[in-house]
Structure 1
Amino acid sequence: MDRLRKMYVKPALLGPLIIVLGLFGTARLKAEPIVEIEYKYYSIYPKTKWDLNDELNRRSPIIFQGKRYRGYTQWLVRWQYQWWSTAQQCQITTVTTNLDVTYTLPRIPTNHPTDPEARRVFNRYLAALFKHEENHKNSGLYAARSIKKALLNLGPFPNCKGLETKAESTAQQIVQRYRQRDLDYDRQTDHGRKEGIMIENFLR
């Protein structure tokens, strides 16, 4: 019995856009979530390091609630499970989770004739920005792990319909929990500023 369920969740402020897709059907047990990562870049064209801030502000396509940001992480959790049933009960036996991550980050094209110092400053800044975005990715990773553990601990239920309903609500609640983690993380760090992720800190 295969079911397809979708739920779209609004993006957190400067956190990842969390799109949740639950796939219910046959799955093999996996020790860890299967993670796939994609990188998307927007280009900036500074002549010197002093142009970096203006270029990032001008070129970034990442706009949320009227504000422009430099980095963005989108994650997608997918889960599958297999159940065993009798006339009296239904029990989940295996769970597989997948995590798809897309980072959107700035870059200076390799053929752009910029000052070498601008590249050095930018690369240090980018490393710090990416570290922040990785923490958003971790929300998806923790969610995928938690979903697997929670679903394996469900039941047994008197029937598979009840089990399916409980599995879906449990997984969605976990995603909401880690969506809140992203909100809290950006609130606590002021979207990375308290971690020192400001281009001015790398111009010194």
Structure 2
Amino acid sequence: MSDYDLKFEGLMPVVVQDSETKEVLTLAYMDGEAYRKSMETGLMHYYSRSKQRVRMKGEASGNIQEIKDVKIDCDNDSLLFMVKQKGAACHLGTKSCFREIATPAVAGNINYSLEVLLELESLIAKTKNTPRKNSYTTELFESGEENIKKKVGEEAVESILAQGKDRIVYETADLLYHLLVFLSYENIKLSDIMDELSKRRKN
């Protein structure tokens, strides 16, 4: 991402997330100088509103944040940095600046997050890289591209022909699994699909 892509009108909010655990570490702010220094050094720099200056994260504590990836939101007015955190991210000595204050009710006990899909995607990728004995996923990868595509097609047909909610849910779960195997085979991530859907939403 070049500086040309960014329009700093004052300060830009920055969400910082652990690249390994995916835990949100902090919300901070950057100006143009902080962004440039971050990208030039590979270490997070922020604009301190209290000190009125740009500072490197961990310049005093040693708890630096090594940049692994950076994304910008659809309105070009906030950033997401994925970092490798050394030590505590919070000045209070905790890993994250965020702490739980309440437990919300879960509508119908249904988890609407992508967590399950992301965990499955990760497991499939791990199996792809490290084949396991007696693993159906390993068998699929070893069977080759054409067979994987065939299985996706078969599961798609079974899903649309299924009768009743329970059967549709069951067959759709099979379809999603086989689709994730196909995407992994083609080295495509769910995030790539989400990015494409996000572009379409803007249009």
Shorter-chain TM-score: which interval? Answer: under 0.3
Ranked by relative contact order (alpha carbons within 8 Å, sequence separation 6 or more), the top structure is: 1
TM-score, length-normalised on structure 2?
Answer: 0.24
